[in-house]
Structure 1
Amino acid sequence: MKKLIFTALFGSLISCGDEVQPKPDAYLALEYPGAVYSDFSNENCPYSFEMNEIATVKPSRAGNNCWINIEYSDLKGTIFITYQPVKKNLDSLLTDAQKLPLQHTIKADAIKESVYTNDFNRTYGIFYEVMGDAASQAQFYLTDSTDHFLTGSVYFEAQPNFDSILPAAAYLKEDIRHLMETVEWKERDGN
């Protein structure tokens, strides 16, 4: 019996040659398709832009024909687009658009804003990148300062948890930047 215990004890000591190493943290590896953009235009709305082909456009439930939702079903996210004509109300439109990202400061770790200017397309605005567990991870507005005002916000169909939605939020932020860069205004006479 002593030989059996001695053999078992000796065998267990010899078999423990390697030190135990903790496993590295695992991260969810989400891969999304490369973005392919195509033109979006609604004949009743005075704007057009390029959008990712994996998304679908649906009318907003608000009832305004030029308010749309760009839905990404695989990412469970939506870019909500609103349009308003400028009618001697540019100051109030700008104030409202600049207040919207501030509503997320309670949950946001930081809000980074980037000024956007495109003289060729007459589009000027700000892109807001919201970091942290806020409800919206990105927002923007664009205007030509005289006739048109366009805003957009990203929301996900999930409890705000920045770490969980980070890959999808990063993907949609790039789509928003592309959308902003490709916005073109239609003139009042329909051109």
Structure 2
Amino acid sequence: MRKFLLLCVAISCVACGSDPIPKPKAMLRLEYPQPRYKKVDISLPFTFEKNEVADPITNIKLDGINNLYGVNINYPKLKGTVYLTYKKVKNNNLTDLLRDAQNLTQKHTMKADEIEGDIYENPEHKVFGMFYEVGGNAASQSQFYVTDSINHFLVGSLYFYAKPNYDSIYPAAVYLKNDIKHIMETIEWKTN
């Protein structure tokens, strides 16, 4: 019996020769398709390109009195929507429109870790504006506005269908941020 116990101890010492290695921290790996963009030219005062991953645009809300249009670009697989709101610049209301767009972004400062703004200019198409990236558990991760400073003003915001948890929505937020920037870069105003 003693020899059997010695043999078991010897085998267990030899069998466990390597040191234990802790498992590395895992990261959620979400892969999204390479974006393919298609021009959207519908009954709006502007055109733009949207990712084909998004649903076709079917719901345009119009308030003809105020020259106000609302367009939703839905991404069901990413559980998010980009909301676009167009307003006509008139009666020297550009300052008010700019202030409202900037205040919309600043409302997220209570939950946001940071808000970074990038100026956007495309003199060739007369599109000028600002893109905001909101970090942290804010309700909206990306917002923008663009204008030609004379006739057109467009505001856009990204919202997800879930409680904001920045770690969980980060990959989708980055993917859609690039789509929003592409929308900004491809806007062309229609002539009146």
Q: TM-score, normalised by structure 2?
A: 0.92
In the alignment, what sits opposite 1:51? 50
Separation in 2, partners of 1:6, 1:37: 72
Provide runs of 4+ in structure 1 moved above 6 Å.
none
1:129 aligns with 2:133: yes
| Partner amino acid, structure 2, of 1:176 | I
Q: Is the 8 A contact 1:117 1:125 kept in 2?
A: yes
Shift of 1:102: 1.1
Provide the alpha-carbon RMSD of the alignment.
1.4
1:104 aligns with 2:103: no
Deviating more after overlay: 157-166 vs 111-120: 157-166
In the alignment, what sits opposite 2:142? 138
Any unmatched runs of 5+ in structure 1?
Answer: none
Q: Percent identity?
A: 49
Q: Is the 8 A contact 1:58 1:71 kept in 2?
A: no
- Per the alignment, in what secondary structure is the counterpart of residue 120 of structure 1? coil
Shift of 1:80: 0.5
- Per the alignment, in what secondary structure is the counterpart of residue 179 of structure 1? helix
| Partner amino acid, structure 1, of 2:69 | C
1:22 aligns with 2:25: no
Any unmatched runs of 5+ in structure 2?
Answer: none
Separation in 1, partners of 2:36, 2:50: 8
| Partner amino acid, structure 2, of 1:10 | A
Shift of 1:66: 2.2
- Per the alignment, in what secondary structure is the counterpart of residue 103 of structure 1? helix
In the alignment, what sits opposite 1:70? 73
Separation in 2, partners of 1:125, 1:37: 21
Q: Tell me the matched-pair count.
A: 186
Separation in 2, partners of 1:48, 1:63: 16
